[in-house]
A and B are shown apart, each in its own frame.
Chain A
Amino acid sequence: MAASRKEEMHEMIERLDRELEEWVESRPKRKPDKDAWTPDNWEEEMKKHPAFCSEPPEDVDNAEKYPAWAALQAIKYDEGDTPEEKALQFKDEGNHYFKMKLYKKATIAYTLGLQQKCEKPEVNAILLTNRAAAHFHLGNNRTSLSDVTKAKELKPDHVKALNRGALCCMELKQFANAVTWCDELLRLTPEDKNIQQLRAKADKLKRSQEKDRRKAQAQEKKQKAQHNRLLQAIKSRGIQLQMPDNADSSDEDDVAESMDRLQLASLEASFPSTGAKVYLDENGCLVWPVMFMYPEYMETDFIQEFHEESRLADHLDAMFGSQRAPWDVEGKYKPDSIEVYFEETSKSKLHKVTLETTLKDILSDSRYRVLAGTPSFILLPKACRFTEEYLRKAADVAVS
């Protein structure tokens, strides 16, 4: 009995298998699927398949090329959906990315949502506000502010937009605007402590910012006045300034202004390491940085503060009176054995200076030009072969 049941079963299975095969055979033969993956192309196809790829292809909207994508999109975004439904779906997608802190992706989703041109201003206001939040987290404060500004126009009582607007303004240091956004918030939630505190903070910062601005203005003005006084003092003494050759100004739009600029620039000492620069002292006297040059030894001395009422002799006494310069191997440089010359640059001509003259008088000489903000002098030892030679050579090149 048991055996016959088993046989019966066996028979039935075989019959069913046979019938299935017959049925399959009876079906019209299918041509090989042109889209089917083959051992040759499966790798490439798999990359394109939405289930496996890491990035959507550029032209993802091409349904014929990417049927799988089109199919998936159709599931999520039904062509029959209204713009509002689509916009809300993109909003959900954006929110999803936002929660995962994928802010860049979130902004794209919200943008797609806005592109649906939903007719409800509230929906667009929410999309804009959410996109603003994502941009805010990306540090794009300006874009964020522009989004919430638009959102506010669509829905003036959208608290989240107003909140974000205030925060953006704080980040952008637009404190006066931050106060305005807070005021709008307080109109809706007058007793919100956080907003009140934010407003107080913004207001305080606004006022301190305004102070800084005033301070900078005042300082600039003061500096300008100082420069003008200095230039005035120089001009009134008939002192002529000359720019260093390399700082040639070609701008001739405004002659007077460029003259002033030129003169200011020409006062910048060419020795930035010392920082020495001509200035007016409290008695209205000029104090110059001055350069002494010793061609015999190719040496120089730089005097940071040479008061214009001082004489050359005063400085020579101080420098050479009691001690010998280390390079002065022959001991020729003494206060009473030094001759001082200046060069008339336009003619390359040397002029001897009396040691008893003050710096002021020398600089006022019509032949003198202050080069690069630093008067300079050539110092030679008296009655010496080098000096004779040097003066002769100088006379040769001089333009008469």
Chain B
Amino acid sequence: MGDQQQLEELLPFLSPSSRPDVRATAVQYLLGVTASKNSAEFFLKNKVFIEKILSLTEDTQESIAKDSYLCLINLTGDGRFCKVLLEDYDPVPKFVQTVVDPESEFSDSACMILSNVTREESGAERVLDSLVKGDVGLAKVVEVFCQEGYNKKEKQLHYIGPMLSNLTQLSEARQFVLDHDRCVIQRLLPFTQYQGSVIRRGGIVGALKNCCFETVHHEWLLSDDVDILPFLMLPLAGPEEFAEDEMEKLPDELQYLGEDKQREEEPNIRQMLLETLLQLCATKHGRKTLRDKHVYYILRELDNWETQPALKEAAQNVIHVLISDEPEDVDNLNEVQIPVGVQKQLEQPQGEEQQ
């Protein structure tokens, strides 16, 4: 990190009235600083820099605005910085606007910042609050996310995925995604198979996992209205050929996948998918549906293929629940004594892992 004095000398060059080329160099220097470890500490002590960076995201010089966004992406990797940024500067409405502006060059950067600041529950609360009160709204954000080619500058908006995953830590966000009167989760489901971006895929699987903590919605999630199961099973299915009699029992989506079918390559996502399936085993109805759709066949092949011990165990946990006899008079397995390994995965919804 550059020393304090050196950085303070930079300040005059960061104002909009400075010469553009000098300003650009100054921001570049600052960007280098934000990339180094513990740089957030400096900015928290010298908040004037935060103000400067925020105002420079509006700079008429595109490269300067871009570098300023990059500074913020780096800095929001730090939880303390996120807190201060949200509390003192209320930048969320501006970033949300940037995300949904189809002409913006900085939509992706804004997405990444929002995804960073929502990682912690308090941040998620602030962003959600801002969305609910503002004129953009979560519905619009989801819509923008689902619409391919929405951004005219070819920004992909994949980071809305992790942002949604983070927001669904909150019950209010889950209620929105699970609104039976709207078509929200149905539109997110296909992205469990989105080959174009592991970020988008992971974000959506995370959001689904969080939503599946709402046991009361399980019956709806498993019904034809949503039909969540195939979307969770498909990424776990591989190229193995099933015997005709087994294949016919699988949901349509899982049949005749062919020898070029790839499993989800990201272990974290496989883990979340398995946790989600386990979560859906919480009710008797859920277990029955998972059995009726023969999730077992897919998990059996996954278990054979999987090399990571933790994931093998996760698969076996679900298999175990599915092949066990039904206990009498227990409807919600969450209310039952469970082994420690399983318990771990039944814990409360979580935000994205630190990236």
**Residues in A lying within 8 Å of B, measured CB to CB:** 182-183, 186-187, 190-191, 193, 196, 199-200, 203-204, 207-208, 210-211, 214-215, 217-218
Could you tell me if A214 and B139 are in contact, using CB atoms closer than 8 angstroms? no
Q: Which residue of A lies closest to B254 (CB)?
A: A211
How many pairs of A and B residues are in contact by the CB < 8 Å rule?
A: 43
- Interface residue ranges of B230-281 to A (CB < 8 Å): 230, 252-253, 255-258
With a cutoff of 8 Å between Cβ atoms, the chain B residues found around residue A186 in the complex are 182-183
Could you tell me if A203 and B252 are in contact, using CB atoms closer than 8 angstroms? no
With a cutoff of 8 Å between Cβ atoms, the chain A residues found around residue B325 in the complex are none
Could you tell me if B258 and A214 are in contact, using CB atoms closer than 8 angstroms? yes
Could you tell me if A183 and B256 are in contact, using CB atoms closer than 8 angstroms? no
Write the nearest CB–CB distance from B237 to chain A, whole angstroms.
Answer: 12
**Residues in B lying within 8 Å of A, measured CB to CB:** 139, 143, 146-147, 181-183, 186-187, 224-225, 227, 230, 252-253, 255-258
List 6 additional A-B contacts (Cβ < 8 Å) besides A193-B181, A214-B256, A215-B256: A190-B183, A191-B181, A207-B230, A211-B252, A214-B258, A215-B255
Could you tell me if B257 and A200 are in contact, using CB atoms closer than 8 angstroms? no
With a cutoff of 8 Å between Cβ atoms, the chain B residues found around residue A191 in the complex are 181-182
- Contacting residue for B146 out of A183, A193, A211, A215, CB 8 A: A183
With a cutoff of 8 Å between Cβ atoms, the chain A residues found around residue B183 in the complex are 182-183, 186, 190, 196, 199
Contacts A183-B146, A187-B143 known; A211 to B256 CB distance under 8 Å? yes
Could you tell me if A190 and B256 are in contact, using CB atoms closer than 8 angstroms? no
In the complex, A218 Cα to B182 Cα: how many Å? 37
CB-defined A-B contacts under 8 Å, sample of 29: A183-B146, A183-B147, A183-B183, A183-B187, A186-B183, A187-B143, A190-B139, A190-B182, A190-B183, A191-B181, A191-B182, A193-B181, A196-B183, A199-B183, A199-B186, A200-B186, A200-B224, A204-B227, A207-B230, A207-B252, A207-B253, A208-B252, A211-B255, A211-B256, A214-B255, A214-B256, A214-B258, A215-B255, A217-B258
In the complex, A199 Cα to B189 Cα: how many Å? 14
In the complex, A200 Cα to B227 Cα: how many Å? 9
- Contacting residue for B256 out of A193, A199, A204, A217, CB 8 A: A217
In the complex, A273 Cα to B15 Cα: how many Å? 91
With a cutoff of 8 Å between Cβ atoms, the chain A residues found around residue B253 in the complex are 207, 210-211
- Contacting residue for B225 out of A183, A187, A200, A207, CB 8 A: A200
In the complex, A214 Cα to B256 Cα: how many Å? 6
Contacts A183-B187, A191-B181 known; A218 to B256 CB distance under 8 Å? yes
In the complex, A203 Cα to B183 Cα: how many Å? 12
In the complex, A191 Cα to B143 Cα: how many Å? 14
With a cutoff of 8 Å between Cβ atoms, the chain A residues found around residue B186 in the complex are 199-200, 203
In the complex, A203 Cα to B227 Cα: how many Å? 10
Write the nearest CB–CB distance from B219 to chain A, whole angstroms.
Answer: 16
In the complex, A190 Cα to B180 Cα: how many Å? 11
Q: Which residue of B lies closest to A213 (CB)?
A: B256
In the complex, A211 Cα to B255 Cα: how many Å? 6
In the complex, A200 Cα to B225 Cα: how many Å? 6
In the complex, A214 Cα to B230 Cα: how many Å? 16
With a cutoff of 8 Å between Cβ atoms, the chain B residues found around residue A200 in the complex are 186, 224-225
In the complex, A200 Cα to B255 Cα: how many Å? 20
In the complex, A187 Cα to B181 Cα: how many Å? 13
With a cutoff of 8 Å between Cβ atoms, the chain B residues found around residue A214 in the complex are 255-258
Report which residue of B146, B227, B255 has the largest number of chain A beta carbons within 10 angstroms of its beta carbon. Answer: B255
